[in-house]
Amino acid sequence: MPELARRTFLTAALATTAAAAGGTSSARAATRAVQVHTVDELRQAIATAQPGAEIVLANGTYNVTGSQGIPIQGRHGTASAPITVRAATTGGATLTGDRGFVAANSSYIVLTGFKLRQKTTFDLPTTCNNLRISRNDIQVANTEGVNYVVVRADNTVVERNHFHHKSTLGVFLAVEGPGSAGMARGVRIVRNYFSDHTYGGDNGGEPIRLGLSGRSLSDAAAIIEENLFERCDGDREAISTKSSGNTIRYNTVRDSFGGIVLRHGNRTRVEGNFVLDGGNGIRIYGNDHLVVNNYLERLTTAGIVLGSGNVKDHKPEDSAESRKGNDAPDRVTIALNTVLSSVTAISGESERTIAPAACTITDNLLVGDSGQKLVSMPFQQGITFAGNILWGAAANGTIPAAGFTRTDPKLATGSDAVRRLAAGSPAINAAARTYSSVTLDVDGHARSGRADVGADEFSTATPVRRPLSPAEVGPAS
């Protein structure tokens, strides 16, 4: 028996024996790292891995040939003892060739530290759950129509990876689910770095696509938080949600054509995001969304767009094709946002005929430069404005007189270039409404008493959250 295979066999045998005996010896044996140096050794080690196993691939470049890739099949860790497969050092092991890891019927697996350079999509299927894809550098072959990663497995965590450099049709990260209408549940996408998507088509180059039209009424309960997007120009939508019940918070979108778009679905919360120096801000369709505490500055289109519809509501009995239409927004709250120096601060749409209904635009801080219009809302009957503060050389636009006050908010620019309220600002304690579910501001400071208008609650404390930098996300963070 070759020495590596012998070590692998002995490790598995010890783990099995200790597990039967119980006690702390089981944990010590199960977590003993197995060192592998070839693709075949990696396959063999994974095939026998038990809960708590750690399999370490030596640094180097590995050409994975054939359709089998590197199987992870029928392997199950536990929440406290996952099976971990990692590179010896983060970014030290590069997988090239036809396919990389191929998962099926597995749970509580951690894949970390690899450079993934395969020719085909890395697919996490519905037969898996509780997978963690962590600290990988992901640049799948730049082939037309190939997505980098597709998640269909419940409770998957995608964290601290770098998705980068694609110039053809296809998305960096897609989340789908079972059948034609389901969604993976409980996916978390955290502290990833998405950069340099340069596809020049009209649609289909999103960094994150959370669902599809036919899946839009399925609750995903996904959380997309603390990710950084830079130079993401492959689509108008950097984060595209086509499912329901999600949370998009604390992300930074900078120098990108794409923005945050609630394209299909209902009941999503968009909170505390920074969208800076780009093309698109936040665009909204569907029902019962909350858009709060977002900071948007220097956008070449509107900061926030409350869309219009060619259908009133999507329904479960609708065909997937019919759900591709735009669902007019109902009961959407746009509150406590700051929009600065953009072509328009808050806008509507007139290209579709069904207006928003029962929506509120309240307590936002809108500041515009010369030649701009702060509010451009073609539909008025379905929107209530209150408590907004407007300022700057830009015209007020189509906001009703009762819905705003024009006054200098007294902004001060911080070391991070974010403009926040200064002492004595008329925005302090000036909100017209109360927001029981909004307990923090964009900086992570507590909202106390009557809220301040805009994304910032005045404070002399150091911000807990700021716009993210590349050093704070991705594999090395």
Q: CA-based angle 177:43:83, to the nearest 5?
A: 60
Q: pLDDT tens digits for the chain (477 residues)?
A: 444 443 443 344 334 333 333 343 334 344 579 999 999 999 999 999 999 999 999 999 999 998 899 999 999 999 999 999 999 999 999 999 999 999 999 999 999 999 999 999 999 999 999 999 999 999 999 999 999 999 999 999 999 999 999 999 999 999 999 999 999 999 999 999 999 999 998 899 999 999 999 999 999 999 999 999 999 999 999 999 999 999 999 999 999 999 999 999 999 999 999 999 999 999 999 999 999 999 999 999 999 999 998 888 887 877 777 777 888 999 999 999 999 999 999 999 988 989 999 999 999 999 999 878 999 999 888 999 999 999 999 999 999 999 999 999 999 999 999 999 999 999 999 999 999 999 999 999 999 899 999 999 999 999 999 999 999 999 999
- Measured over the CA atoms of residue 237, residue 239, residue 242 and residue 245, the dihedral's sign is negative
The pTM of this model reads: 0.92
- Measured over the CA atoms of residue 130, residue 133, residue 139 and residue 141, the dihedral's sign is negative
Residue whose C-alpha is closest to residue 342's, from 306, 394, 382: 394
pLDDT the model gives residue 91? 98
pLDDT the model gives residue 428? 98
Q: CA-based angle 292:232:371, to the nearest 5?
A: 60
pLDDT the model gives residue 19? 39
Residue whose C-alpha is closest to residue 203's, from 212, 194, 216: 212
Joined together, the tokens standing for residue 196 give 């340099």
Domains and CATH numbers, the chain: 1-143 (no CATH), 160-418+466-477 (2.160.20.10)
CB 15 within 8 A of CB 53: yes
CB 145 within 8 A of CB 174: no
pLDDT the model gives residue 21? 37
pLDDT the model gives residue 370? 81
- Measured over the CA atoms of residue 206, residue 258, residue 254 and residue 386, the dihedral's sign is negative
C-alpha neighbours within 13 Å on the C-beta side of residue 250: 19
What span, in angstroms and rounded, lies between the C-alpha atoms of 187 and 343?
A: 35
